[in-house]
Amino acid sequence: MTSVAIERQSTTEAQHPVAEGQARASGSEVGAGGERLIRIEGALRHCDSLDQLWCHLANEGQSLLQARQSLVFCLSGRNRWRVKAVGGLARVPHDSAQVLAYQHLVGSDWREHRDETQPRLLDLANVLEDEGIPAMRHGLWIPLSHGDRPIGAGWLLTRERAWETPHLALASRLAQAYGHGASAIRGRRRVSLGHARGARGLALATVLGLGAALALVQVPLTSRAPAEVVASEPFVVAAPMAGVVDRILVAPGARVALGDPLVQLVDVELRNDFEVAQRKVQVAQSKALRLQQAAIASSEAKRELAIARSELRVAEAERDYAHDLLDKAVVRAERSGVALYGDPQDWVGRPVRVGEAVMQVADPADIAFRLEVAAADAVTLERGASVDVFLDAAPLEPVSAVVARAAYKAEKNASSIANFKVMAIPETPSEDMPRLGLRGTARIHGEPVSLFYYLFRRPIVTFRQLTGV
């Protein structure tokens, strides 16, 4: 809708003098409009909103009173009148120069006749022609009221011919009907608004009461973490020297005793070195024995005997060293327990470094729980904190434990998530302890906090991270 839409409408209608000449006498016009007035009063009761009511008034009233233009005004903030509906137009062209001029005219007239509720005739030519705006000459302003009380709305009708007394009576009757309808709609809105405010007040009171109740209830602050059953103090079987694993001599999970062989390293070179060292010892012994027999008669042999004995001691030391290395090719258990490692085939032919762990030997009755607590949940990591471990193999039989130690610094795991390594030990050790390697979930109990903080700690942290408040 352009800014001159209403001007084009009024100009086009003004260019039909034949139709105007064929109009009936004003008295007969009003008489014929009585029947339509009854129909309009019945139809306006179906309007559910003020916008719908104003649009109905602008269109039906224009047709009933044979007006060229029909505009409905409402009093808005700062005592300004604004056009809410225009007859024949779906949307009000608020930027139209004629609409702005009509608003200024209605505002000036209202300041002079603020409390009047009777229709008034307006001469529009002198006012609007000063602005260079073509308009109908004769205007009729009907304030809308409910009884004797204005409701802050009005109706402006314009046309070329003068308005007569029957028109004023008909327009006044129609304005009272629409004023009553507007008051009824506003009353329903105030009731609905009152109910809405009451509901909001009740909801606010409920929320405040619930918040106060949550603040008074104390519950222990808890956090959850993945858990695994591990040995409490395992013995690490490490490679005593660099070499290649020939085979694993025990099965995974097998019980071993003190001194049992566990790992066999490739010892071909070590065994050859030991045999060569033994031959050197035999050669040194033969040489020393020969010189010892010759030293009885020869002073020179006596001098060489001391050197030969030194060479024998060196050869024996090399033999002993080679023997020790050969013994280390077989790694033996230094304590009894259960052998803990993966697949034996993963180790066959695998080179190992000095000190590299091959397996663990642990007592199956001496267990602990290894927890990986995320850094965001590390609020309950005090020594001695109570822990409930729910293993996947027995979710209905939690194991009670306490925190023994916790890492001081968080480290990233395989998923690049920073977490703290925590060790927990059972409160009451018994023979019927969980099997090593079982997994589950642990719940760590901390200090008592309010139920409000317990429920909304994570949302508050997320809100602060997003907003920085």
- More reliable by pLDDT, 130 or 300: 300
Provide the Cα torsion 298, 302, 303, 306; round to 10°: 160
The pLDDT of residue 153: 85
The ranges of the chain annotated as CATH 1.10.287 are 267-328
The pLDDT of residue 10: 46
- More reliable by pLDDT, 171 or 288: 288
Among 3-7, 16-20, 69-73, the minimum mean pLDDT is found in 16-20
The pLDDT of residue 279: 92
- C-alpha 324/C-alpha 316 separation (Å) is 12
- C-alpha 276/C-alpha 297 separation (Å) is 33
Segment 434-453 shows an average pLDDT of: 85
Q: Identify whether the C-beta of residue 305 lies closer than 8 Å to the C-beta of residue 291.
A: yes
118 pLDDT more than 70: yes
Please write the tens of the pLDDT for every residue from 320-349.
Answer: 998 988 888 889 888 888 888 888 888 888
For 232, the 3-state DSSP assignment is: coil
The pLDDT of residue 376: 76
Q: Is 423 exposed, middle or buried (0-12, 13-18, 19+ CB in 10 A)?
A: middle
- C-alpha 465/C-alpha 459 separation (Å) is 10
Q: Which two tokens stand for residue 296?
A: 């009885």
The ranges of the chain annotated as CATH 3.30.450.40 are 5-193
For 226, the 3-state DSSP assignment is: strand
Q: Identify whether the C-beta of residue 245 lies closer than 8 Å to the C-beta of residue 349.
A: yes
Residues in the chain, overall count: 469
Please write the tens of the pLDDT for every residue from 120-154.
Answer: 888 776 665 555 555 577 888 888 877 777 788 88
The ranges of the chain annotated as CATH 2.40.30.170 are 222-232+363-467
Please, which pLDDT band fits residue 160 given cuts at 50, 70 and 90? confident
Mean per-residue pLDDT of the chain: 79
199 pLDDT more than 70: no
Q: Which long-range contacts (CB under 8 A, 24 or more apart) does 21-28 make?
A: 23/66, 26/164, 26/166, 26/167, 27/166
CATH architecture type of domain 5-193: 2-Layer Sandwich (3.30)
Segment 410-426 shows an average pLDDT of: 85
Give all strands of the β-sheet with 243-248 in edge-to-edge order.
330-332, 261-265, 243-248, 351-352
The pLDDT of residue 390: 92
Q: CATH topology for 222-232+363-467? A: Elongation Factor Tu (Ef-tu); domain 3 (2.40.30)
Question: What is the Cα 459 distance to its own chain's centre?
Answer: 8
Q: Identify whether the C-beta of residue 151 lies closer than 8 Å to the C-beta of residue 129.
A: no
CATH for 267-328 (1.10.530, 1.10.287, 1.10.150, 3.40.50):
1.10.287
Whole-angstrom Cα Rg for the chain: 53
Q: Identify whether the C-beta of residue 339 lies closer than 8 Å to the C-beta of residue 253.
A: yes
